[in-house]
Structure 1
Amino acid sequence: MDSLSNSLNPNKRLKEEFVSNLTGSSMLEISALATLVPVLILLRHSIGADRIIDTVTEEAKLKKNDDVLVLSKSWQDYMAALLIDFFLIVLPILLFLTVFAEWMYQSIVLLILLLLLCVVSKRSGSCSPFVDGGSRSLRTNISSFRVSMMIVTCLSILAVDFTIFPRRYAKTETYGTGLMDIGVGSFVLANSLVSRQARNISSKKLKTVVQSSSPLIILGFARLLSTTGVDYQVHVGEYGVHWNFFFTLATMSILTSIIDVPPKYCGILGSVILVGYQSCLMRGLNMYLFSEERGADPISQNKEGLFSVFGYWGIYLVGVQLGNFLFFQNQASIMRTKKWARIRVWLLSILFWFLTVLIDRHVERVSRRMCNLAYATMVLAVNLQVLGILMLSDFIPGSKTSVLEQACNRNLLATFLLANVLTGVVNLSMNTLFASPITALSILIAYALTFCVVIGLVDFYGIRLKFW
């Protein structure tokens, strides 16, 4: 069995070293990336094949609920719209994460100018800045935010194994701010903002707790068994020997269900947990978590994953209160709700950026590995910045959600699982470390196109892979 595993992944050690001992990027560059991605999505909303999007959108409006999709729309129109979305959203993001990374700041300026030009040209033909674009709901803005986070995550998990992906974007070893460091926290926050708790419909029933957590536990063990079975490269310093991302999500689901707190108090509890956890870190826990020594007990073997749960749970609870505060409180006017939600999101993003800089300099530097207080505030700052930019779509007349966003949003976790499977297949079938830039880029484009088309087809045929 060991010889088979080694034959499947003979370069395991080299691949693990390739993503180890990294120090990350700057907060400014992370903020710039958090600007570039939503701007690309807004550009797609404002330009492109309006006839195709109109056709698909009008057909989608005929469905009675999210679980029933009308199949009368044209397959040719749908695939054409999906490919346009790929070339205008996914491909540019992939290029800026790889071969165009050094020209990112200049590109952001050009993209913003192009977006402003589109807005001005569209508004010149309408009497109101909210024509058509104003009809986009808060739910649509949140969906675009969740999908943008998922696209960057899916592209990064494979790109990081190639040399054309800048090392500063990969996960840091101890302290630092790499782009991929934000991924796990963003996934947690994105789920919390629209969670049952945020909508104030949480339940203490044991059946609900089991239904919400058991699929994640199964996925966690499935990942553990599959990576062990093929001797897949795993950076132990990320979560520990046996722990993984799905176990973290399952633990938070259980904790949040058992300790049922009204959403208006979740932020207070989350802040107390984050501050208390940070105090423990500064009293020596951080040295324990960074130590390479591991005992034989399960806690020592998986110390990073187990203790970081406190940080992620704090982020989740704060996200629950923010989601309830920003999006799910009853308001008299829909337009007023959207206006004030947008203002609140921007103010909160600025506040969390200020806190991140302050804590990073005077308390403890950002650390994804520990999920400390500075990391939590940075995750909140970055994601609220992305959401705030996407909420500016109300100022773009004729703004329409892309087909790709609709498809990914209906099968968000399935998209992530598919990307993980494809990433594993690529890594086991070739030596990514020695691929030339042209070969690497070609593989990444084929990979991105594959998961976009597959998720699009799943959505087209009305399949919704809802795990709980």
Structure 2
Amino acid sequence: MDTPVKSLNPNKHLKEQFVSNLNGSSMLELFSLTAVLSIVVLLQRAFGFNSQTGADSAEALSKKDDNDNGFLRTKNFTKYIAMLSLDFLYIVVPFILYTTVLADWTYINTTTVALLLLFCILAGRFGSFFQEDGVQSLRQNISSYRVSLMLLTCLCILAVDFKIFPRRYAKTETYGTSLMDLGVGSFVLANSLVSRQARGISTLKISNSLCSASPLIFLGFARLISTSSVDYQVHVGEYGVHWNFFFTLAGVAILTSIINVPPSYCGILGLLILLDKRGADLISQNKEGIFSIFGYWSLYLVGVQLGNFLFFENHANSSLRTNKWARIRVWVLSLSFWLLAYILDRHVERVSRRMCNLAYVTLVLAQNLQVLGIIMLSDYIPRHKLSALEEAFDQNLLASFLLANVLTGLVNLSVDTLFVSSVSALAILQVYAFVLSLAVGFAKFYGIKFKFW
């Protein structure tokens, strides 16, 4: 008789059960939660102490020396950290609360913040009714959208390990809609919308692609080693036995560089890949991860087409369109994709992150364009400069995500997250998020920038 294989982690199976057999939430709740988190960013600009001078103050507090190789020389580091801390209170703390202790009141939360934002706009409390900075406004809104998704992703990857995080927001087993199901797709789409291909710039050479993908491959192996134990063959993960999120990102980057597709054909090719039947035979233990690469690649290609259509004038010019031109089109596309995702989920095939099917892709597109569309309403708020925190994360998006994974691993090694009280879990999440924000802010202040994607 074979000896039962024992795990190096006594609570490993408990954690597997904690994140298994989940069905997600409804599309309506997902729509509402996405709306409330996006509006929080706008309210920060309306009520935030440094919202009017967030970007300008950061520039004023720092001076770039022509002889210091791009590093910033501080005039008042303490004031910069104070601004960063205020932004943390206005943006990150509500993010944590709305996805944990206030999650059961999502619809009430959405209605409240929406009415508050509407009141601010109609009352004209902050000056003129409408202001727009054209290209500069659109550039800031795109950055704010990307940062908002990254912040939410960084918070959720740790919060999901605690009981305070609703199970309906955690990743589903195979079919279903949840907040964390959208993480991988949103990351891929956010990069494709402003990629070199979307701007009409020729694709990277394979050598450069391998250089940009190598950190992702390294993180993939690191994640594999850190999560594996002597019984790893017993449990099949969401992408298979050995596959994980970082391998998927690396595969998409390499595929995009090997196959040079013009922006005008990206959307068509992406839809063809999605509609094509993928093999169902068990060719490897990682069939889910391998085959889903083509789904995520198709999402990337669709994102390239949308980015080129919405934000850039033509294939030969990487200049941005104005925010006014793109705003209506973003909203029309978002609502159209929400309707299409609902129809596909109900009448064709359930949304599946694991397979990255057509229903999943349309849901990712709908949710991301909704976030972008709400943030584009910032032109109705005169003080719509990027906050210091948003600027900091925008400079090192992928690096901040990698750091968040490292910090998440440290927390899981130090704390048994399954048996932590709600108060302690909330405190841990706040400290984790604050340390991450300080680290990213420190890198921004001293001009440290990491480029992976």
Distance (Å, rounded) in 1 between the aligned partners of 2:234 and 2:391: 32
- What residue is the counterpart of 1:311 in the other structure? 295
Q: Are 2:373 and 1:388 aligned?
A: yes
The amino acid of 1:193's aligned partner reads: L
1:115 alignment partner, SS class: helix
Q: Which moved more, 1:21-30 or 1:389-398?
A: 389-398
Distance (Å, rounded) in 2 between the aligned partners of 1:198 and 1:125: 36
Distance (Å, rounded) in 1 between the aligned partners of 2:429 and 2:15: 17
Cα distance, 1:113 vs. partner? 2.0
- What residue is the counterpart of 1:24 in the other structure? 24
TM-score normalised according to structure 2 size = 0.91
Quickly say closer, same or farther: Cα 1:98–1:154, change in 2 above 3 A. Answer: same
1:119 alignment partner, SS class: helix
Q: Are 2:322 and 1:321 aligned?
A: no
- What residue is the counterpart of 1:97 in the other structure? 99
Quickly say closer, same or farther: Cα 1:231–1:402, change in 2 above 3 A. Answer: farther
Q: Which moved more, 1:31-40 or 1:235-244?
A: 235-244
Q: Are 2:415 and 1:430 aligned?
A: yes
Q: Is the 8 A contact 1:136 1:394 kept in 2?
A: no
Percent sequence identity over aligned pairs? 61
Cα distance, 1:451 vs. partner? 0.7
Distance (Å, rounded) in 1 between the aligned partners of 2:388 and 2:229: 37
Distance (Å, rounded) in 1 between the aligned partners of 2:328 and 2:419: 48
Q: Is the 8 A contact 2:138 2:323 kept in 1?
A: yes
The amino acid of 1:414's aligned partner reads: A
Distance (Å, rounded) in 2 between the aligned partners of 1:42 and 1:337: 19
Q: Is the 8 A contact 2:135 2:323 kept in 1?
A: no
Of 349, 353, 362, 2:338 maps to 353
- What residue is the counterpart of 2:3 in the other structure? none
Distance (Å, rounded) in 2 between the aligned partners of 1:116 and 1:453: 32
Of 428, 451, 459, 2:436 maps to 451
- What residue is the counterpart of 1:291 in the other structure? none
Q: Is the 8 A contact 1:170 1:178 kept in 2?
A: yes
Which segments of 5 or more consecutive residues in structure 1 lack a partner in the other structure? 289-293
Quickly say closer, same or farther: Cα 1:230–1:52, change in 2 above 3 A. Answer: farther
Q: Is the 8 A contact 1:311 1:371 kept in 2?
A: yes
Q: Is the 8 A contact 1:56 1:77 kept in 2?
A: no
Distance (Å, rounded) in 2 between the aligned partners of 1:194 and 1:231: 42
Cα distance, 1:463 vs. partner? 0.8
Distance (Å, rounded) in 1 between the aligned partners of 2:230 and 2:120: 50
Query: What does 1:55-134 align with in structure 2 at a 5 Å threshold?
Result: 55-58=57-60, 68=70, 70-122=72-124, 125-126=127-128, 129-130=130-131
**Cα deviation code 1:58-98 (max 9, x no counterpart):** 4579799xx93533342122111111111111011101111
Distance (Å, rounded) in 1 between the aligned partners of 2:174 and 2:209: 34
Q: Which moved more, 1:304-313 or 1:220-229?
A: 220-229
1:329 alignment partner, SS class: strand
Distance (Å, rounded) in 2 between the aligned partners of 1:366 and 1:314: 16
Cα distance, 1:223 vs. partner? 2.1
Q: Is the 8 A contact 1:21 1:172 kept in 2?
A: yes
Distance (Å, rounded) in 1 between the aligned partners of 2:46 and 2:238: 40
Q: Is the 8 A contact 1:349 1:382 kept in 2?
A: yes
Cα distance, 1:130 vs. partner? 0.7
1:300 alignment partner, SS class: coil
- What residue is the counterpart of 2:263 in the other structure? 263
**Cα deviation code 1:35-79 (max 9, x no counterpart):** 011100011122221376242244579799xx9353334212211
Distance (Å, rounded) in 2 between the aligned partners of 1:82 and 1:122: 27
**Cα deviation code 1:266-300 (max 9, x no counterpart):** 11110111111xx447xxx3xx6xxxxx7xxxx42
Distance (Å, rounded) in 2 between the aligned partners of 1:312 and 1:162: 28
- What residue is the counterpart of 1:200 in the other structure? 200
Q: Are 2:225 and 1:225 aligned?
A: yes
Cα distance, 1:372 vs. partner? 0.7
Query: What does 1:228-247 align with in structure 2 at a 5 Å threshold?
Result: 228=228, 236-247=236-247
Distance (Å, rounded) in 2 between the aligned partners of 1:228 and 1:174: 21
Alignment root-mean-square deviation, CA: 2.6
Q: Is the 8 A contact 2:145 2:372 kept in 1?
A: yes
Distance (Å, rounded) in 2 between the aligned partners of 1:235 and 1:369: 15
Q: Is the 8 A contact 2:310 2:321 kept in 1?
A: no
**Structure richer in helix, relative to its length:** 1
Q: Which moved more, 1:114-123 or 1:260-269?
A: 114-123
Quickly say closer, same or farther: Cα 1:62–1:398, change in 2 above 3 A. Answer: farther
Quickly say closer, same or farther: Cα 1:153–1:234, change in 2 above 3 A. Answer: farther
Distance (Å, rounded) in 1 between the aligned partners of 2:245 and 2:394: 20
Distance (Å, rounded) in 1 between the aligned partners of 2:220 and 2:186: 19
Which segments of 5 or more consecutive residues in structure 2 lack a partner in the other structure? 1-5
